[in-house]
Structure 1
């Protein structure tokens, strides 16, 4: 399937790189606000001048075409300035979420072979390689106040960004995204149109590919990028009020967050003109809730792996949605190709299920310094009458009779946990590096939004599950920390000597059944919370000693629980209080002791 709009191709010929894109917007919309946070607003002309100074400062450190610069900054205007300045030097930016565990951040910096780290003053003593140059946006700006303009001879095929994703190697891999791929995405006519008057909510992690929609699609349109709290922080507040307060008109929200918000406040997005979602399966029931509420804007479901530059297909969700059917992922973006191939790499029959292969302008260069992985996933396959370089996504899909693509899940062992693609082997590898663990196996289990990771560990003599969980929490993002951790004597094997996953699943089922032996909730508050735990977590017979997070809870579900408790109790407990008192009996005691709450009726 192909989509190539003449207007889109014409724009790409005029604007080949992100530098060209930025310059064209500055020329047309120089006086309009470009970026802002709670304390600073810069117009496009001011942003151009400041990024010119910072880029000149980076040049003074020898940064140029082919280099990588790590950006390790708190959310704010300076982070956006740093990204744009790096691009203007002709080098590639490596945006690092400061909330990631230290070990992962260090790995990202070193794997990218960054020559400079742009960071906050307080973080300059972080454990980077001593050979690395560390500097700040302020120092770069002050040192180059009278610098001449920076000119970088950059081509569309040159790398602009290194974005890390977990994959089959069991460790984060650096995906090389090009100027041309990002320009193709940012200017794509198949995406909802962003206007110069729009205010784009920047809520994603800077290490997540949604950041490219928030930044580059806004810049392409001359819109304002408004830095807001991250998605978890936003959910801990009142999202509807916060979006209205900041005047947000367009944003990309992760599918799982949309699914949760739709259940608790279907009008959370009522102020938006454009709402995009992606990263996981959006539930048709969630779409129906939003469309039946006060939201009257354009609602799009996007699909695409990081290796396809954020998205390669899009579907506008409308009021005629069939809530009994999965929400389609739509049609290819302009300049993108999608092929559904069988195990022999041949096109599947009409309506058949095949692995999704993507091609066209959005396909990444490959994995940085990973030639074997690149060769395995980025392949030349004859499709129809021509050869094309395609990326094998590992996802399954089919083409519906109406011409829309439908996502059918993963074809390999990878899975999506809370919108993040994860590889169980990455967690296994980290577990095996733990001195308390002798061996480990990890499975993804559950369905839809309820998918979780279960880890089975052979513990050393002095090992304990709680200590292993603490070890993981210090090294991995929370979506890679398993919801269930089970101690076993030995990883089971089949007669052929391979790991016996079915035996592991039987152990998991037994562990889940063990939860049936519980202490019955006694007080009205305990019974209320037990019902709420069961509803939110999809488990049965929750007892007074059960822990919300041990049963599979996470920050998104904790947000929903806090909203319900506030509504039903009139309680003054904060979200952090609910998280801290995660054991049912402890939370019940906290609620009963809260003088602002009202008692639950029998």
Structure 2
């Protein structure tokens, strides 16, 4: 690679290029892509990109060059995309089977050339002079034009970078994620899927044939490769839901995030997703257009209700705006329908070589900053009472087929250029929710439709070719003399079908073809069938008790002949294991694990993969790299306790909650598996020390507790929950409950113990929390008295002013930036003193650390009020994007410190402990309890306390990224062994000098707190 290209990689305007380079440098062996050729590591990916960029340099391809690439679903295409971005050229993907005519028209529109022809071109001077660094086009997408000629939408580097950063944050993508890629590489959603994954160092899963092999194969692929994120068109997910419903399956439980978009989402889709995906999974409905750089708004289906029967598309991303204007260009009132416009930092440059169309669709934003623009989406919608955008339809005839926008009128104009065609009309069918294009033709005389199809196929993109064709004598018109598409489709309901179907299968075929009855004498493909319709046919036939191989539909035989080959399911069925067994059996090492389990279905309730955070914890503890890693203990000395009765109550609690019956299998597996036993007897270790005197018993209890703390708790031997009990003199009992933090968080232990003692005291099981998953327990807890919680938070936050600034911000910059870190350490002697005195005073170490941090912030900023966002291990459903299996959820709890608190950790702890029962409210709900704040910052910094050793991968802390939002800084304190303090900050908002002052102040206040605690302990 040339020196110039190498320099560009060091300080590149494209954030994706910078991120891939950094992953290759810091994590070269981490998997970037898993495709049909195997795993591709970030180091190998970057080496290939550099080599390709060097060859592009030699061809004179550089800033401002527009390069068309025949894009395929393979690593070669993705490497070419990155290489073109590295040399700051514009990457324009076209379908691999696109005709020469289409490629020529696209190249002409953007002034570019096909990459495979580059060697025969004369060298060209880079053309970057007309653009700034961030306004250079990163990629171009060919779209359908109203005239039938393709348009190329140019997306600038700055827009792509801003969108990828915003979306990666909203989706909470981490290096451990595996993101499924099923869309064509020419679809702009492909840029979002690959870009957000590689920005955060996650793995892209690219099955060779996407969903062409059927939903069952895609479902198995997701389970086998543990896809944690699925970002797919709504039509794909609808087909997946229909298949799962018919097959009595659930969507993969390994998937923590479902993102649907590109097409209208129906209420039935929202309901089916809730019913069939993992209870912990987050579900997002996304909306955007090519001209607004993919996704512009998001609606979280888990945390927000629908607007009546309308499915919202949500609120704009950071840096984006969505406006609904009336016919006079004035903002519509909430609930009033109007035309949707999208603006902000992520708008396209415009249409290459088409200034008129650019000016028509991209208009000045009179409410924005000088120079800002709005894009006319030509969608109809409204803003609901919660400020969310709802899109109801189109104000023109544009249609979306498979998530890709097409212009039916433009395609009709192309058809009319054929010498035998007098007039043509094209529309999506059915009109309400089109799934394919149909063409109606008025011909001069006899016409060969095959010739017309071939003629049109050479002039349009493959996805623009109508699947259904019909010759008519005339077009019906409305009273106003316009084409009446409703009447046209009603007059040809089967679009030329001449045969008749058996009464049993006709409804199934009509439903699969989205309300269009196919022609029995035409092949499946000739009827307009595609992979989504094929999966729908198989699903509908399965509902009838018929098995029809998916491969049979791809034949050229008439559809009636193919359908006649369907057989009763009983003739083809084989014993089918449950979903997790099927997924395990598709992987060789998992097959070995399955055999080792024996009668797996008789002993297990479920098998699933751990979350990224759980995997880090489990790997660290089972590798033995840290003694006692991630094991917690609760100890107490109780009065008279009927141990046999309490043991029976705990057995009932264990049977009610999956988490307490879960253990880990890791041998021979790339990642651990969580296995939930159907039945499990809790482990108890009992001894009678009642014969000892009180002093000796107390000493032995202290020795026992120290020994238990040093003891490992192997989660691969069985469920890692262990009771130790000692009978003491006077009828008292010493109890120690040990558990692994990866399977039960530090808050839930109290909830489950409360349940055990409720049973012990005779409360009926029917009044307790619901049985089953931790998620069910969470939903029950969150459904408690929210009004009481709001009153508590209102009192906690009352008086914070509307003009409250970011306390730690000392720079004017804003917006996303690469975070920087500063480190400090606390002397070991001080650490030992703080730990010991906090234990003697019976206050948690976390309370001491919070007070010291709050005092340090007050000292550095001169403020009398500090609010720290404390990451707690909690249970709110609004954080569904924090995937969990057996009990890991997070919340950011705002803890307020006044001047009187920071010098008295015990007083602050007592007041903050009173907030704990009400911390299930989301941060957004808590904020609404202080309406006088307006948009002023609520939290000055997030404080993350790590009471465990770092996991082997070093990526475990990444799970907190999504909770930080755009905070100027986050403070991490590692408390295992010596105290290590890390301040991660945005240098655009907080200077290194300010961070260094803060670190010094934290250390100073910890030492000051140590002295105060020692004095308190002595008195």
Q: TM-score, normalised by structure 2?
A: 0.50
Picking from 429, 441, 465, the partner of 2:425 is 441
Residues 1:362 and 2:346 are matched in the alignment: yes
Checking the alignment, whether the CA contact within 8 Å between 1:353 and 1:396 is kept in structure 2 is: yes
Q: What is the rounded CA distance, in whole Å, between the counterparts of 2:525 and 2:409 in structure 1?
A: 22
Task: Give 2:985's aligned residue.
Answer: none
Picking from 90, 93, 108, the partner of 2:91 is 93
Q: CA deviation at 1:322?
A: 4.8
Counterparts of 1:387-406 in structure 2, within 5 Å, are 388-406=372-390
Deviation by residue 1:132-186 (Cα, 9 ceiling, x = unmatched): 589xxxxxxxxxxxxxxxxxx9711111101111133432211111111111111
Deviation by residue 1:44-94 (Cα, 9 ceiling, x = unmatched): 233222211210111011111111222224322221111111111111111
Deviation by residue 1:558-587 (Cα, 9 ceiling, x = unmatched): 21212444675564x532312436745313
Task: Give 1:574's aligned residue.
Answer: 549
CA gap of 1:234–1:274, structure 2 versus 1, over 3 A, is farther
Q: CA deviation at 1:311?
A: 0.7
CA gap of 1:428–1:132, structure 2 versus 1, over 3 A, is farther
Picking from 396, 406, 410, the partner of 1:426 is 410
Checking the alignment, whether the CA contact within 8 Å between 1:341 and 1:355 is kept in structure 2 is: yes
Checking the alignment, whether the CA contact within 8 Å between 2:34 and 2:205 is kept in structure 1 is: yes
Deviation by residue 1:88-110 (Cα, 9 ceiling, x = unmatched): 11111112221445543443344
Which structure is larger by alpha-carbon Rg, 1 or 2? 2
Residues 1:164 and 2:142 are matched in the alignment: yes
Q: What is the rounded CA distance, in whole Å, between the counterparts of 1:268 and 1:494 in structure 2?
A: 46
Indicate the SS of the match to 2:190: helix
Task: Give 1:150's aligned residue.
Answer: none
Worse-superposed segment, 282-291 or 314-323: 314-323
Q: What is the rounded CA distance, in whole Å, between the counterparts of 2:73 and 2:520 in structure 1?
A: 39
Residues 1:246 and 2:225 are matched in the alignment: yes
Residues 1:285 and 2:268 are matched in the alignment: yes
Task: Give 1:123's aligned residue.
Answer: none
Task: Give 2:17's aligned residue.
Answer: 19
Relative contact order (alpha carbons < 8 A, sep ≥ 6): 1 or 2 greater? 1
Picking from 493, 517, 521, the partner of 1:512 is 493
CA gap of 1:326–1:493, structure 2 versus 1, over 3 A, is closer
Worse-superposed segment, 348-357 or 448-457: 448-457
Checking the alignment, whether the CA contact within 8 Å between 2:32 and 2:202 is kept in structure 1 is: yes
Residues 1:482 and 2:466 are matched in the alignment: yes
Indicate the SS of the match to 1:577: helix
Residues 1:304 and 2:288 are matched in the alignment: yes
Q: What is the rounded CA distance, in whole Å, between the counterparts of 2:521 and 2:91 in structure 1?
A: 47
Deviation by residue 1:329-348 (Cα, 9 ceiling, x = unmatched): 00000111111112222211
CA gap of 1:99–1:564, structure 2 versus 1, over 3 A, is farther
Deviation by residue 1:419-456 (Cα, 9 ceiling, x = unmatched): 22111122112202223323222344534434553423
Runs of at least 5 residues in structure 1 that lack an aligned partner in the other structure: 1-12, 119-127, 135-152
Q: TM-score, normalised by structure 1?
A: 0.81
Indicate the SS of the match to 1:72: strand
CA gap of 1:597–1:45, structure 2 versus 1, over 3 A, is closer
Q: What is the rounded CA distance, in whole Å, between the counterparts of 2:495 and 2:172 in structure 1?
A: 53
Runs of at least 5 residues in structure 2 that lack an aligned partner in the other structure: 1-10, 124-130, 574-1019
Worse-superposed segment, 89-98 or 448-457: 448-457
Q: What is the rounded CA distance, in whole Å, between the counterparts of 1:238 and 1:202 in structure 2?
A: 14
Q: CA deviation at 1:207?
A: 0.9
Residues 1:216 and 2:195 are matched in the alignment: yes
Q: CA deviation at 1:389?
A: 1.1
CA gap of 1:469–1:593, structure 2 versus 1, over 3 A, is farther
Aligned length: 550
Aligned Cα root-mean-square deviation (Å): 3.5
Counterparts of 1:289-368 in structure 2, within 5 Å, are 289-295=272-278, 296-318=280-302, 321-322=305-306, 325-368=309-352
Task: Give 1:35's aligned residue.
Answer: 33
Q: What is the rounded CA distance, in whole Å, between the counterparts of 1:41 and 1:533 in structure 2?
A: 40
Task: Give 2:508's aligned residue.
Answer: 532
CA gap of 1:335–1:26, structure 2 versus 1, over 3 A, is farther
Q: What is the rounded CA distance, in whole Å, between the counterparts of 1:467 and 1:586 in structure 2?
A: 25
Counterparts of 1:127-276 in structure 2, within 5 Å, are 131-132=120-121, 155-188=133-166, 191-235=170-214, 238-265=217-244, 267-276=250-259
Task: Give 1:49's aligned residue.
Answer: 47
